């Protein structure tokens, strides 16, 4: 099974917006407080991913077919670390290792300090990130419980080493 991660271009914006709609709807189920964007039109950063140099949009394909997307911020955008801002694998492509292979490709391309947040209720995602980080990063992530305006989240901090 071939998983491919490619830089999304402006012409891919509609594909990302479609996937973002499904992602935000799904994510809304995990929020303890119903605030925040629930579709791509109300998501405030979509256009910034196609205009700001520190924001990097990616399309994920499995055997050539669209299987998800990732929105990544680099240290020039966050000020400190790399961040997985949004990450989504379409339901029909799940539990096949697509997410794991895709994030591994991204981490290998951009080694360094990484951070991401998961809603506390999103237990599948927390398991996914913990298992990917333990397999690919240097040691287990540092896990911090934080209160945000949409409820409890876990923040995961970890380091990805450069490989040759």
Ligand X SMILES: CC(C)(COP(=O)(O)OP(=O)(O)OC[C@H]1O[C@@H](n2cnc3c(N)ncnc32)[C@H](O)[C@@H]1OP(=O)(O)O)[C@@H](O)C(=O)NCCC(=O)NCCS
Which chain residues interact with ligand X by CB under 6 A? 23, 26, 87-89, 94-100, 118, 122, 124-125, 127-128, 131
Nearer to ligand X, 29 or 51 (CB): 29
CA–CA separation, 82 vs 145, rounded Å?
A: 19
CA–CA separation, 93 vs 89, rounded Å?
A: 6
DSSP label at 32? S
Nearer to ligand X, 77 or 153 (CB): 153
Cα 52 to Cα 20, 46, 57, 97, 122, distances in angstroms: 18, 10, 10, 30, 29
Nearer to ligand X, 77 or 125 (CB): 125
Which residue's CB atom is positioned nearest to ligand X?
99
Nearer to ligand X, 43 or 87 (CB): 87
Crossing angle of helices 98-109 and 123-136, rounded to 10°? 50
Nearer to ligand X, 77 or 122 (CB): 122
Residues 6+ apart with CB under 8 A from 31: 119, 121, 150, 151
CA–CA separation, 22 vs 76, rounded Å?
A: 28
């Amino acid at each position: 099974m071939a998983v491919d991660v490619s830089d999304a271009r402006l012409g891919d914006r509609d594909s990302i917006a479609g996937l973002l709609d499904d992602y935000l709807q799904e994510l809304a189920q995990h929020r303890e407080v119903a605030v925040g964007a629930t579709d791509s039109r109300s998501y405030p950063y979509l256009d910034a991913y196609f205009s700001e140099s520190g924001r990097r949009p990616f399309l994920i394909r499995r055997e050539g077919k669209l299987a998800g997307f990732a929105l990544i911020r680099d240290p020039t955008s966050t000020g400190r670390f790399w961040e997985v801002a949004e990450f989504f694998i379409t339901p029909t492509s799940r539990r096949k290792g697509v997410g794991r292979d895709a994030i591994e490709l991204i981490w290998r391309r951009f080694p360094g300090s990484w951070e991401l947040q998961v809603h506390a209720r999103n237990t599948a995602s927390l398991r996914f990130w913990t298992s990917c980080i333990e397999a690919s990063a240097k040691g287990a992530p540092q896990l911090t419980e934080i209160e945000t305006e949409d409820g409890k989240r876990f923040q995961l901090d970890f380091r990805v080493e450069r490989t040759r």
